[in-house]
Structure 1
Amino acid sequence: MTELNFKHLRYFWTVARVGTIAEAGRVLDLAPHSISAQIATFEAALGVSLFRRVGRRLVLTEAGERILGHAEQIFALGDQILDLVRDDTLRRSLPFRIGFPDSMPKSVIHRLIEPALHVERPGRLVCREAPLAELLAELAVHRLDLVIADRPMPPEVSVRGYSTLLGESTLTVFAAPALAARLADGFPATLDGAPFLLPGEDVAHRGALLQWFETQRVRPSIVAEFDDSALMKAFAQSGTGAFVAPTTIADTVCHQYGLEAVGEIAEVSSEVYAITTERRLSHPAMQAIRERAGKMG
């Protein structure tokens, strides 16, 4: 009689959730060929094929879909067992793990998650910065409790999760004082030909910002593009060019970097989402973050 190998089941479950052997290997810290071999052994033991290849991704077969449903229940029960031991004596030592893309403004992240440190008996806060795809893969296998991003869960991602809009803000153009003085009078027409620092392609509001330039018939001189918002502010601080950031953090941007607000872009907004594996933000730390987001809007 075949006995279920739970290690193989976890490998299968991870691949099914993240969609590729390579990504599962990164999440599990195993070589892809090792995972492939384990999956093949699991299929041989069960006597069924669990995946079929479509392009570069693995798609579940009918048998795989049925087994995945049971695997979800098994590992959900495992999470419930962990919850049982999260009593008052242990909660302080249990980390609350938050991930966010490097494109997110650090001051926004700080203002959002700082209240998580002040809930009753808070756990240790662990912050993880990485590309959104990597964060979602880690969320899928419960290495993260929460992902904060500037967009909801992408529809093409196979991770089972839920997106909750925490808040949104208009954008404001900022620049070093000398450049701001040149741009403020007559904004936004003064942006035409002005040196500008553009957010990277991973930033959700980039497309809307470029469209706004077209609508206003201005063509800034794009000096550089940045995925990292902190690095972009540092370049702006030296006078390299103007850039945009959420209006809600205008005071922080001006005070921390010595910059000045040039003008507001009311037609373009920056959004913040909480992405979790649970439909409801029931964890006290998550509730504290959501309450802070409501006050930032």
Structure 2
Amino acid sequence: MSHLNYNHLYYFWMVCKQGSLTKAADALFLTPQTVTGQIKALEQRLNGKLTKRNGRTIEPTELGQLVFKYADRMFDLSYEMMDIVNYSQRANLLFEVGVADALSKRLVSQILSTTIPMDGNIHLRCFEATHELLLERLAQHKLDMILSDCAIDSSQNAGLYSKKLGDCSMSFYSATPVEEKEFLNNIAQYKLLIPGSRTSMGRKILEWCDRQGYQPNILGEFDDVALMKAFADAHPETVFIAPTSYPAHHNVLAEFSHIANIKDLKEEFFVIFAERMIQHPAVKSVCDADFSRLFK
């Protein structure tokens, strides 16, 4: 059998992964015409059509599905090899972590502290975005691990795993003192600041309000908790929700008045990683750590 051009195979694999010729070309820093030409060369080599168009997306043909299945395993293994080589040879272990922007940064920082070895030989690189975008970057091997507020379904995300690290209850706070009974009986009269409805906690709050029969007066949604607190500080008439105050958060919420703890609302913390990263020392340290005190 004559040699197979693996560049052509890689371009085809990228088109299938992206579902779009244009997106694949952008990711490869090539023109769509160049990618198309390379795939045609691969089709000639394999003597069959590999892709078909379905509306604006490109899908693999029956032959293309077969080729993609093997290519996916090949390139996943190549990424795994490079990951292992990189973190075994670097003087300072590079560890790229994605953090869901809705999570409490104080808690995230304490979780990440477990990744720092005794000799300090690690180079942390943190990327903050939505859960969906982080999963996409993880699947593209652009991240080593994710800290998020929701788990994943491994049956829908082949090769990805998640583990719950802990959870903490949520409370309402305000820069202006408010009685708990007064607030809960008249919640519609208060201007609320909540996590964005795209986040897990944002959806939980809206569902909780619906179950309680509340008609919330939402002034703002914030994907970033720190920004929400800063906004609440500048607008003392507002009420916001955040993890219930305990030692890890004491200094952060000291200037705000605690209104009510809502036990039905819990912020959950999950670590998500690819199968190839199970033996990564930093991932292992997070998965093996006991965070019971942190989430007490």
Q: TM-score, normalised by structure 1?
A: 0.81
Distance 1:263 1:18, change over 3 A: farther
Alignment length (residue pairs):
291
Q: 2:227 & 2:160 partners in 1: Cα distance?
A: 31
1:296 aligned residue: 294
Amino acid of the structure 1 residue aligned with 2:221: E
Distance 1:133 1:12, change over 3 A: farther
Q: 1:54 & 1:295 partners in 2: Cα distance?
A: 52
1:80 aligned residue: 81
Contact 2:178–2:259 (Cα < 8 Å) also in 1: no
Task: Provide, for residues 123-142 of structure 1, a one-character-per-residue CA deviation record: whole Å limited to 9, x for no partner.
Answer: 31111123333322322231
Q: 2:71 & 2:275 partners in 1: Cα distance?
A: 17
Deviation at 1:28, TM superposition (A): 4.1
Distance 1:141 1:212, change over 3 A: closer
Contact 2:173–2:258 (Cα < 8 Å) also in 1: yes
Amino acid of the structure 2 residue aligned with 1:43: E
SS of equivalent to 2:116: helix
Contact 1:193–1:219 (Cα < 8 Å) also in 2: no
Alignment of 1:210-289 (within 5 A): 210-238=206-234, 239-247=236-244, 250-257=246-253, 258-278=255-275, 281-289=278-286
Q: 1:77 & 1:267 partners in 2: Cα distance?
A: 43
Q: 1:27 & 1:264 partners in 2: Cα distance?
A: 46
Alignment of 1:146-165 (within 5 A): 146-153=145-152, 160-165=159-164
Amino acid of the structure 1 residue aligned with 2:81: Q
Q: 1:19 & 1:165 partners in 2: Cα distance?
A: 31
Which portions of structure 1, spanning 4 or more consecutive aligned residues, are displaced by more than 6 angstroms?
154-159
2:171 aligned residue: 172
Task: Provide, for residues 233-274 of structure 1, a one-character-per-residue CA deviation record: whole Å limited to 9, x for no partner.
Answer: 111122252122233x65454522522322111112222222
Distance 1:135 1:43, change over 3 A: farther
The CA RMSD over aligned residues, in Å, is 3.2
Q: 2:194 & 2:26 partners in 1: Cα distance?
A: 31
Q: 1:135 & 1:150 partners in 2: Cα distance?
A: 12
Q: 2:169 & 2:132 partners in 1: Cα distance?
A: 26
1:47 aligned residue: 47
Amino acid of the structure 1 residue aligned with 2:163: T
2:7 aligned residue: 7
Deviation at 1:70, TM superposition (A): 2.3
1:113 aligned residue: 112
SS of equivalent to 1:99: strand
Using the TM superposition, name which of 185-194 and 93-102 deviates more: 185-194
Aligned identity (percent) is 29
Q: 2:118 & 2:14 partners in 1: Cα distance?
A: 32
Amino acid of the structure 2 residue aligned with 1:191: I
SS of equivalent to 2:229: helix
Q: 1:229 & 1:188 partners in 2: Cα distance?
A: 22
Contact 1:188–1:216 (Cα < 8 Å) also in 2: no
Deviation at 1:74, TM superposition (A): 2.5
Contact 1:112–1:292 (Cα < 8 Å) also in 2: no
Contact 2:209–2:215 (Cα < 8 Å) also in 1: yes
Deviation at 1:285, TM superposition (A): 0.9
Deviation at 1:25, TM superposition (A): 4.6
Q: TM-score, normalised by structure 2?
A: 0.81
Contact 1:17–1:140 (Cα < 8 Å) also in 2: no
Q: 2:126 & 2:132 partners in 1: Cα distance?
A: 16
| Gap runs ≥5 in structure 1 | none
Deviation at 1:206, TM superposition (A): 1.9
1:65 aligned residue: 65
